[in-house]
A and B are shown apart, each in its own frame.
Chain A
Amino acid sequence: DAGVTQSPTHLIKTRGQQVTLRCSPKSGHDTVSWYQQALGQGPQFIFQYYEEEERQRGNFPDRFSGHQFPNYSSELNVNALLLGDSALYLCASSSRVETEAFFGQGTRLTVV
């Protein structure tokens, strides 16, 4: 089992650009959550997808959007990048019958 995989591992973008990050959940999981982790901070919840719909959302602007595909994989899109969007973006997968969430290794986004 490959666990939760994220791509790319590192990314450098220019302010104002758009970025798409990808996540494949652990086998058997149908729920994907995205988190932003700034340096020296705990992960902050962005949103959660289940059955291809956004089910819950944290305190993030509409510039952050997502999608879940029929195979349960997910994308996180960020528009109009700001310098403050530089962070480690984590994807976590879970299932509706289990509590434990498994995290991927994250995508390190640097906005210059």
Chain B
Amino acid sequence: GENVEQHPSTLSVQEGDSAVIKCTYSDSASNYFPWYKQELGKGPQLIIDIRSNVGEKKDQRIAVTLNKTAKHFSLHITETQPEDSAVYFCAASKGSVSGGSYIPTFGRGTSLIVHP
């Protein structure tokens, strides 16, 4: 089955700095890569996703990149703010283009701490 490795496990940055979280996956058939943010006492919330036919996607301060050949994908957060502090999970999955059958395999998470 799919195996997703995520690094680092903890990331501490100063407010305003950039943060980068990296993941690798094992199944070359995976074609959908969501990123989730989980705050204390809450369920994971999707913050951005990317499909295998796209190399990069950006949404305001958040961007994701995907290298299918190397089976790497990364999350980039610029101008970090204290409210960005949370646990971030990458995930990889495969399914039909029409959706509905995606079962993401999650990484172990990165605890991001943004110091004011």
Chain A interface SS verdict (over half): loop
User: Quick one: CB contact mask for B34-45 with A, threshold 8 Å, 1 for yes?
Assistant: 101000011111
Question: CB of A40 within 8 A of chain B?
Answer: yes
The contact size tier of chain B is: 20 to 34
Chain B interface SS verdict (over half): loop
User: Given that A103-B44, A105-B42 are contacting pairs, would A98 and B109 also be in contact in the complex, using a CB cutoff of 8 Å?
Assistant: no
Residues of A close to B49: CB separation below 8 A: 99-100
User: Is A42 within 8 A of B100, CB to CB?
Assistant: no
The CA of A31 and the CA of B32, in the complex, are separated in Å by: 18
Interface residues of A (CB under 8 A from B): 4, 31, 33, 40-45, 48, 50, 55-56, 58, 90, 92, 94-106
Interface residues of B (CB under 8 A from A): 4, 6, 32, 34, 36, 41-46, 49, 89, 91, 95, 98-109
Residues of B close to A94: CB separation below 8 A: 99-100, 102
Shortest C-beta distance, B39 to chain A (Å), equals 10
User: Is A101 within 8 A of B104, CB to CB?
Assistant: yes
Chain A residue with Cβ nearest B41: A105
